[in-house]
Amino acid sequence: MFNQNFLRCTIFKQVSRFYRKMFGHNDKNLESHYVSIPRNAHNISRKDISENALKVLHRLNKQGYEAYLVGGCIRDLLLGKKPKDFDIATNATPEQVQKIFRNCRLVGRRFRLAHIMFGKEIIEVATFRGDHDNQMEQNNISKRSQSGMLLRDNVYGTIEQDAIRRDFTMNALYYNVKDFTIRDYCGGLKDLQNGIIRLIGDPQTRYREDPVRMLRTVRFAAKLGMEIDPATADPIKKQASLLKNIPSARLFDESLKLLQTGNGYATYLLLKKYNLFEQLFPLIERLMTTNQNSYLEKIIEKVLKNTDYRINHNKRINPAFLFAAFFWYPLMEQTQVTCIESGLQFHDAFSIAINDILSEQCRVIAIPKRFTSVMGDIWRLQLRLKKREGKRAFALLENPKFRAAYDLLEMRASIEKGELLELAKWWDEFQFASPEKRITLVKQLSKTYKRRSKR
């Protein structure tokens, strides 16, 4: 945290001097003036910008259109981070953009966008959004639900209108490649310098327009180590239930951004704080305890910290493993309920419970089948890992999901202790042993079983 704050102070020192020169020391002036930050007062360099993004900007400008880099890429460059992608805002309509670029396709119905394809890299180009109050909201242009959520938003306008339609002040920054200036309409640079996440406009209205903004608020706070402005934070708990109006497929995509981008545990704590976690994972939330010391809460902490570590060390991750760990204890709870209610044996109740858990959770977050099938395999292997006699251990070792199943077993053992620790230790030794040693381990296990059966 110290290093991040030091970085902010270093990067924004010259920006602060420019602000004071323009407006004196009255911070309130920043929100009521359009500010153009010259090249010598910011740290963004063209060498840090995608060559393909620069091509798009130059060609749009050459065709007579306004075009700017905008949003997260500008924010990240100012913070000394490498942007994940580069987005462009322009006064050209999506159809006009498509006429200029042969490698362009139009996507989206709710927000019409132009995607310009350069191999694996996609440059997203959005037309300046306009002010709804000054437009007739026709169904093919703009549409809201009864709760105020934007169902369609293709009202186009000016760069000034586009700026105040963006979500956070730090994302309403525009980089002009023609003169290398940054345009700041909402005091975003000042908020970046102070480490503040602030919504543009009335927070309650903005959350109603798109409830996912609540998730984005906590995600950016965790990712950037910044504080949420009180006015931005206050409505979240009361309006958290609006997430029920969001399509489950979109919430799956958002859940990965929340939990699998290297700051999952910090994000989880904020989701809990603002009552957002229960909207995404109601099956899990209802089993959590007041002292936050249950097996369920411990495994969530472990799997999120482990995922963060792997991401930050460029190791592979799989959403299926994360969700398998998340729902293991709810699955055990549901299995016990099914046993009691149906009178079935544990194994049969376990299979039914898998279907029940996945079906109920996918109504909230649409986890794709390619992940739910892996989750089911990992769960079923937890039962099979107990049966190691004869050729079973050798067969299990060849199972393609063995490693993920073992990792979950090891995680459970570190929490539950007891016999699971012995089981995990045995599998750890077995998987790395020589073929001869493996045979010996299985024989020793058979002898142990025989001694126990004689008692």
Residues labelled as active-site residues: 85, 87, 167
Mean pLDDT in residue range 382-407: 94
Report H helices in 275-401.
277-280, 282-285, 295-312, 319-326, 328-342, 346-362, 369-384, 392-398
User: Within 13 Å of residue 83, how many CA atoms lie on the same side as its CB?
Assistant: 24
Q: Output the pTM of the full model.
A: 0.85
Q: Give the tokens for residue 290.
A: 């007041």
Identify whether the C-beta of residue 95 lies closer than 8 Å to the C-beta of residue 106. yes
Mean pLDDT in residue range 331-342: 95
CA distance 120 to 135: 37
| Angle of helix 346-362 versus helix 328-342 axis, rounded to 10 | 120
pLDDT given at position 23:
41
Mean pLDDT in residue range 124-151: 60
% of the chain residues with pLDDT over 90: 77
Mean pLDDT in residue range 420-431: 95
pLDDT-derived band at 138 (thresholds 50, 70, 90) equals very low
